[in-house]
């Protein structure tokens, strides 16, 4: 049994961040290793981008105080953090694991960002990108993210949620629970709504502010929706504690991103909707497209016309839509089980500790 130090964002509520949720799930399902967390009393639990002071405190801890047998890092790779982690591990002579929580921008020199003894990626697309950059097969592992199982809502549950949130029972509901400032999915969702034939559709924009760019991005989208004449069919929800109810009551979860940048390879919210048996549409060319391979999601070209056409086809085919929901739930429960994911990491720790 080894002590494993988890180096991540603060592992504390609210549970609305994919990377710290993954750490929580792994820690909660370890059976043969002891998890160790860094005490970070001054770190805001809601921070999506840790600041310089916080990162400097983590580096000081690694260089002077950390006493674990293995260090396990969770962050999106960047040069400064990778250099700091490489330096601290070399000084302390500690084996390291790095889980790449989201991919850097297309074209980034990934070979300059690899620092750990083992680099864990979450999708095949990420694996291929790191391999093409020169990462060796021996140092690269593919372990998917995890999701604690969620209950599948009944028709009665969905009706209650619609009433609670003031959503028309007869309307078709789409929900876009993604970023405003990255990926392009928000604009594609609006374009899809504008191109859609039905008028009795409400699009819920459940987008939290992650950076200072969120406000201007929202204002530009609101202005665009007004010009397209769809502003009355939008509801801007912002950050909400009721995201699971909103996913459950919606007919379609749309995440037609053009890029995975700043997002976990398989967005947590997509897996949550799929676990509840709800139809999910994702963008082709992103890691999330892999969710569609077994008929568990629908991958569309990231354009408004393609999104509208895909939803129109599903809206008119109850049998296909219901099968999609069933396959989605089966896939998530089988592939993204926290116990299964934690067991894969424990095997990795044992191999490192043995050396």
pLDDT one-digit tens code per residue, 154-167: 999 999 999 999 99
Cα 82 to Cα 55, 61, 63, 112, 241, distances in angstroms: 12, 16, 15, 8, 34
Which of 37-51, 100-114, 135-149 reaches the highest mean pLDDT? 135-149
Question: What per-residue confidence (pLDDT) applies to 48?
Answer: 47
Is pLDDT of 42 > 60? no
Residues 189 and 308 in one domain: yes
Mutual orientation of helices 79-92 and 52-60 as an angle, nearest 10°? 10
Residues 232 and 166 in one domain: yes
For range 81-103, the mean pLDDT: 96
Distance of alpha carbon 311 from alpha carbon 195, whole angstroms: 11
Residues 33 and 59 in one domain: yes
State if pTM tops 0.75.
yes
For range 130-151, the mean pLDDT: 94
**pLDDT grade for 50, boundaries at 50, 70 and 90:** low
B/e letters for 60-98, b = 16+ CB within 10 Å, e = fewer, are ebbeeebebbbbbbbbbbeeebbebbbebbeeeebbbbb
Distance of alpha carbon 208 from alpha carbon 327, whole angstroms: 29
> How much is the CA Rg of the chain, to the nearest whole Å?
21
What would the two tokens of residue 290 be? 């892999």
Residue with the larger pLDDT of the pair 261 and 7? 7
What would the two tokens of residue 208 be? 């939290």
Residue with the larger pLDDT of the pair 263 and 248? 248
Parallel/antiparallel/unpaired status of strands 201-205 and 234-236: parallel
**pLDDT grade for 56, boundaries at 50, 70 and 90:** confident
**pLDDT grade for 44, boundaries at 50, 70 and 90:** low
pLDDT one-digit tens code per residue, 220-260: 999 999 999 999 999 999 999 999 999 999 999 999 999 99
Question: What per-residue confidence (pLDDT) applies to 211?
Answer: 85
Question: What per-residue confidence (pLDDT) applies to 215?
Answer: 94
Residues 119 and 78 in one domain: yes
pLDDT one-digit tens code per residue, 325-338: 999 999 999 999 99
Nearest residue to 273 via CA among 121, 171, 158: 158
For range 305-333, the mean pLDDT: 97
Question: Mapping DSSP to helix (H, G, I), strand (E, B) and coil, where does residue 328 land?
Answer: helix
- The pLDDT mean for the chain works out to 93
Distance of alpha carbon 270 from alpha carbon 292, whole angstroms: 11
Question: What per-residue confidence (pLDDT) applies to 53?
Answer: 58
Distance of alpha carbon 174 from alpha carbon 237, whole angstroms: 13
Residues 160 and 124 in one domain: no
Is pLDDT of 67 > 70? yes
* CATH code (residue 344): 3.40.50.2000
Contact yes or no for 302/185 (Cβ under 8 A): yes
For range 260-269, the mean pLDDT: 93
Residues 69 and 86 in one domain: yes
Residues 137 and 177 in one domain: no
Question: What per-residue confidence (pLDDT) applies to 198?
Answer: 87
The number of domains in the chain is 2
| Residue 294 lies in domain | 155-335
Residues 133 and 161 in one domain: no
For range 205-220, the mean pLDDT: 93
Residues 341 and 326 in one domain: no
Residues 137 and 159 in one domain: no
Q: Which helix (H) or strand (E) holds 341?
A: helix 338-354
Distance of alpha carbon 30 from alpha carbon 5, whole angstroms: 13
Residues 305 and 165 in one domain: yes
Residues 162 and 65 in one domain: no
Half-sphere exposure of 31 (CA within 13 A, CB side): 8
């Amino acid at each position: 049994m080894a002590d494993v130090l988890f180096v991540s964002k603060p592992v504390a509520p609210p549970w609305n961040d994919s990377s710290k949720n993954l750490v929580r799930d792994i820690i909660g399902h370890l059976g043969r290793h002891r998890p160790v967390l860094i005490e970070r009393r001054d770190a805001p639990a809601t921070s999506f981008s840790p600041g310089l002071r916080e990162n400097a405190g983590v580096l000081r801890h690694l260089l002077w105080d950390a006493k674990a047998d293995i260090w396990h890092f969770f962050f999106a790779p960047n040069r400064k953090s990778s250099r700091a982690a490489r330096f601290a591990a070399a000084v302390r002579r500690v084996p390291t694991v790095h889980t790449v929580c989201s991919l850097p921008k297309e074209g980034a020199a990934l070979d300059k960002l690899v620092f750990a003894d083992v680099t864990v990626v979450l999708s095949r697309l990420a694996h291929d990108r790191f391999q093409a950059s020169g990462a060796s097969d021996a140092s690269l592992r593919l372990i998917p993210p995890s999701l604690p199982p969620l209950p599948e809502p009944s028709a009665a549950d969905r009706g209650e949620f619609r009433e609670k949130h003031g959503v028309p029972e007869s309307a078709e509901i789409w929900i876009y629970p993604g970023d405003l400032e990255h990926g392009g999915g928000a604009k594609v969702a609006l374009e899809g709504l504008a191109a859609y034939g039905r008028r009795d559709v409400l699009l819920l924009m459940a987008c939290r502010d992650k950076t200072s760019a969120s406000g201007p991005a929202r204002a530009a989208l609101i202005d665009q929706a007004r010009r397209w004449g769809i502003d009355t069919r939008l509801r801007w929800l912002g950050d909400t504690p009721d995201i699971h109810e909103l996913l459950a009551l919606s007919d379609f979860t749309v995440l037609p991103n053009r890029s995975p940048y700043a997002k976990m390879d398989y967005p947590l919210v997509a897996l949550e909707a799929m676990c509840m048996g709800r139809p999910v549409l994702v963008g082709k060319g992103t890691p999330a497209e892999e969710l569609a391979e077994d008929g568990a999601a629908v991958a569309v070209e990231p354009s408004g016309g393609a999104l509208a056409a895909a939803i129109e086809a599903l809206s008119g085919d109850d049998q296909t839509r219901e099968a999609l929901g069933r396959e989605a739930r089966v896939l998530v429960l089988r592939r993204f089980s926290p116990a299964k994911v934690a067991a894969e990491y424990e095997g990795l720790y044992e191999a490192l500790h043995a050396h």
